[in-house]
Structure 1
């Protein structure tokens, strides 16, 4: 794709081959009947789009200059907290330095582009405890407690700095989100996969668990990408330079999620506590206040969480069978 294309919207998505990136592509494609949209997916390694390395600044400048996007949705990251913990240097290189490279390259190669940075609720860290279970707002101090959250917070600092230097940018802090296609590195998908395997006799009717007491703010990924697509396609003057929680304002206890999935599966399951999986949760309750997103860009979640669980369970049933 070269500069000067006739498409009204030219959306460049980094991390496009990941769980959220695929759903964002689907959301944008669903809008192509009403809008002139060209989607340019890029990612690291094997990808359906162009392969890039966000650590290579010159490569990013060439990419952005050649495509001249109207918006960049920067999803590329070492996204799983456990993976970031196990490979902290890689997490910092991709999440922090990679984001800095993308933002500076955008300013150099396409100064008018809207740069949409996807951060994380993990940036809040210990501040969740200080809010005593109340939904957290964007003005709370970031106090990350793991490599993933810290590297995302550092990336946010760079993007916020560049907003003051002319970068047209919006930052999002999404809370836990799940849906069909998520890997079993994440709790909802892990439970659903095990239940699907039990249903076809691949494992005994036993699920071994660790700490189920944590409460988290869960969303459907399809609601989340709707927010990203909206700001990629439309200009919200009040959103420029701002940061928004993407959250429901409600919490789901992990134990309740497991019990609901078991109920939806229609199976009799023995839940066993596994001491090897038992870890104390530093943050017991985490939820977000998304009033700013509703007020500024008109976003709020619409998909009932039970539907999300049904769809995740069905996805894994199809995969294991």
Structure 2
């Protein structure tokens, strides 16, 4: 991506964990960033952000608002992180499909009309694979197990469709379990760290349930790598973004136990397994390395330690995260 300070990057879902992190990442590179927040989005993650970040509230499910937004902002790049349905409390099917699919369609159609538009990078999800979640290739058939997963599959298919048939500059990053500073407080790692500091554990499911944890800085670098490669990588490509390793709940709890020197033993099964809990859920990021030169470089130990330091040094952010936590964790 050109290093000119006049480059404009528009980020949707900018009040969310990944979206806000991308805003900070690209602003730090000297780019003008337009942070698009939903009508009800809480902006605590962008408090005291760089002056080059402009915040605007827009309903992405309204085509006329999206067209006006992109016409006024004139971005060269759009990073779409807007999403709904990733938490147990977010259960309204019609809203899931409006936000996760219809909004993507509005954004793509509006971006395609802009002169000089260079890259649309959509944040997909490893949830798209559903029951086929064990190191799947990007061309593996998904078997979604929720409305959220179905809506994300549909959005990926749409981005591929317009990119392959209309030469639209679009790509999809299927993100694994992203963690780090500013993560949603109800998620596993923030809860483990919060309880760990107090010498305890949160309620825990089956210790053999696994996730592929990838640190937020690595994820931001993946988005940047796609933008930088927009003229050389085939349009419509999908990339798995993860560490490529299955980390069981038992493993990550032990890492946190060692980090804080917790004396007591964890109580397994103190929380019932959820329908999305799988024993071998991890990514295959080979394609991202081969085509983008990207791989996760932050170890789990280093990422956990960095996140713990951040929460210790930024208690105001931790308090904001607790106040604005979404009920339940996925």
Q: TM-score range by the shorter chain?
A: 0.7 to 0.9
5+ residue gaps in structure 2?
A: 47-54, 320-330
Match of 1:162 in 2: 162
Q: Is the Cα–Cα contact under 8 Å of residues 211 and 279 in structure 1 kept in the other structure?
A: no
2: CA distance between counterparts of 1:22 and 1:279? 28
2:88 is the counterpart of 1:82: yes
Q: 3-state DSSP class of the match of 2:142?
A: coil
Aligned CA distance change for structure 1 residues 92 and 249 (closer, same or farther; 3 Å)? same
5+ residue gaps in structure 1?
A: 1-5, 200-204
Deviations 1:214-242 (A, max 9, x none): 12211101101111123234534224211
2: CA distance between counterparts of 1:300 and 1:70? 25
Count, aligned residues: 300
The partner residue of 2:129 within 117, 124, 132 is 124
Aligned CA distance change for structure 1 residues 206 and 177 (closer, same or farther; 3 Å)? closer
Match of 1:177 in 2: 178
Deviation, 1:109, is 4.1
Match of 1:151 in 2: 151
TM-score of the aligned structures, taking structure 1 as reference length = 0.86
Aligned CA distance change for structure 1 residues 24 and 40 (closer, same or farther; 3 Å)? same
2:306 is the counterpart of 1:301: no
1: CA distance between counterparts of 2:202 and 2:176? 26
Deviation, 1:28, is 1.5
Deviations 1:247-288 (A, max 9, x none): 221111011101110210123234224555344666320121
Q: Is the Cα–Cα contact under 8 Å of residues 54 and 94 in structure 1 kept in the other structure?
A: yes
Match of 2:113 in 1: 108
Q: Is the Cα–Cα contact under 8 Å of residues 214 and 281 in structure 1 kept in the other structure?
A: no
Q: Is the Cα–Cα contact under 8 Å of residues 168 and 235 in structure 2 kept in the other structure?
A: no
Deviation, 1:104, is 1.5
The 5-angstrom pairing of residues 20-99 of structure 1 reads 20-32=18-30, 37-44=31-38, 45=40, 46-47=42-43, 49-78=55-84, 80-84=86-90, 86-99=91-104
Match of 1:202 in 2: none
Aligned CA distance change for structure 1 residues 195 and 87 (closer, same or farther; 3 Å)? farther
Deviations 1:51-76 (A, max 9, x none): 01111111111111111111100111
2: CA distance between counterparts of 1:157 and 1:296? 20
Q: Is the Cα–Cα contact under 8 Å of residues 212 and 254 in structure 1 kept in the other structure?
A: yes
Match of 2:141 in 1: 141
RMSD of Structure 2 on Structure 1 (CA): 2.2
Q: Is the Cα–Cα contact under 8 Å of residues 9 and 233 in structure 1 kept in the other structure?
A: no
Aligned CA distance change for structure 1 residues 166 and 64 (closer, same or farther; 3 Å)? same
Q: 3-state DSSP class of the match of 2:113?
A: helix
Aligned CA distance change for structure 1 residues 206 and 25 (closer, same or farther; 3 Å)? closer
